[in-house]
Amino acid sequence: MVSAAGRPVAVVGLGLIGGSLARLLDARGVDVVATDASPATRAAARRAGLTVADDVAACVATADLVVLATPLRAMPAVAAEVAAHAPASATVTDVGSVKGPVRNEVSAAGLGGRYVGAHPMAGTEHSGFDASDVGLLDAVRWAVTVDAAVDPARLEAVLALVTGPCAGTVAVLTDEVHDEAAALVSHVPHVVATQLLNAVAGAPVREVALGLAAGSFRDGTRVAFTDPARTEAMVTQNAAWVAPALRKVVRDLELVIAALESNGSTHAFFRTADDVRAAGRRQTSPGVSTGAVEQVPLVGDWPALLVRRCTTGVVVVGITPTAVEVAPAPAR
């Protein structure tokens, strides 16, 4: 379907995201070979009906497309294995929540010319193969990232996988735009949620506060209840974008504090985002209205054109032999 005859998709790493992706591709009839560093995880994946190789070398040996779904810290070793054992034709992608640092690692392993970054915008509070689910990555929004040297054929391969069997929609971006946006909508919210929880945990009125906590605290701290080690890794990996975004949080809050302490006006602060409120835009929706679909022909530097279009809010909804289909990203 996606891969050439007899050329499977290799999924390296069977945690929450890798496991969910392997399950989804398998369910959609894609030839998938997966592996994981843990024998127990490999056994669990076999019991779940997946085709599992015992090591990275066997997993990627005949692959057309390799999906790196390991933690960033494992990337140098895994990328070296892939470079040594995958066919030169195999395209390499990943599912990590930061893109610049992953590109650096795969480039260091000599895979830079074969790499297209990818990040499915979905997850749960849980981790590991046991938490993986065939539905988790079905029809979700993805970010796919490229640099100026991207091989268009490799970008085509990744877009075909994501918009085809994964039924997803895709924003094609530079690593930098992705990582800045991810800091704003994911990493900074994780840091802030952690601080809200920490402040209550350390307060003299802690027991009263926890006893009175209702919806705003539950929602504001939900992600602080997820695995703090994973949150810390995600935040520190994107430190280059998270730190300046947190500086803006500090500056904005200092203005609010000054107003509260001087009976000044907080009106502008509370009304800054009125246009976003009016549009009711709280979360992305992967669905699109097919009426608005446009074709971007696969000619010239179409990857760069796609990046420009996606930065204004359109998403890729499909790909044909001659064009990428784009449509406005709907609000949810």
Instruction: Please report, as residue ranges, which positions from 249 to 288 form the binding site for a second copy (by CB under 8 A).
Output: 249-250, 252-254, 256-257, 260-261, 263, 266-267, 269-277, 280-284
Find the shortest distance in angstroms from Cβ 119 to a second copy.
8
Q: Binding string, 103-132, against a second copy, x = CB under 8 A?
A: ------------------xxx---------
Q: Which amino acid, 38?
A: S
For position 219 contacting a second copy by CB under 8 A, the verdict is yes
Would you count residue 293 as binding a second copy (CB under 8 A)?
A: no
The footprint of a second copy on residues 225-244 (CB under 8 A) is 225, 228-229, 231-232, 235-236, 239, 242-243
Q: How far is the CB of 208 from a second copy (least distance, A)?
A: 5
Binding-site member from 39, 214, 300, 321 for a second copy (CB under 8 A): 214
Closest listed residue to residue 164, CA positions, set 17, 20, 6, 319: 319
Q: Smallest distance, Å, CB 283 to a second copy?
A: 4
| Shortest separation between residue 261's beta carbon and a second copy, angstroms | 5
Given 136, 162, 171, 296, the residue binding a second copy (CB under 8 A): 171
C-beta of 39 vs 280, nearer to a second copy: 280
Beta strands 117-120 and 65-68: pairing type? unpaired
Min dist CB 210 to a second copy, Å, is 5
Amino acid identity for residue 155 in this structure: L
Q: Min. distance of Cβ 10 from a second copy in angstroms?
A: 26
Please choose, from the candidates 291, 300, 293, 282, the residue with its C-alpha nearest in 3D space to the C-alpha of residue 315. Answer: 293
213 touching a second copy, by CB under 8 A: yes
β-pair type (65-68, 9-12): parallel
**327 contributes a contact to a second copy by CB under 8 A:** no
The H or E element spanning position 84 is helix 75-85
Task: Pick from 102, 180, 288, 298 the residue near a second copy by CB under 8 A.
Answer: 180
152 binds a second copy (CB under 8 A): no
Query: Cα(208)–Cα(197) distance, rounded to whole angstroms?
Result: 14
Q: Which residue has the tokens 């892939």?
A: 82
Yes or no: say if 298 and 324 are a contact pair by the CB < 8 Å rule: yes
Q: Give the CA-trace dihedral at 327, 173, 121, 292, to 10 degrees.
A: 0
Question: Which residues, 6 or more positions from 62, have their beta carbon under 8 angstroms from its beta carbon?
Answer: 6, 7, 8, 87
Strands 9-12 and 32-35: parallel
Rule CB under 8 A: choose which of 25, 50, 143, 150 binds a second copy: 143
DSSP class of 158: H
- Determine the size of the site formed for a second copy (CB under 8 A): 97
Within residues 37-56, the interface with a second copy by CB under 8 A covers none
Structure tokens at 98: 């930061």
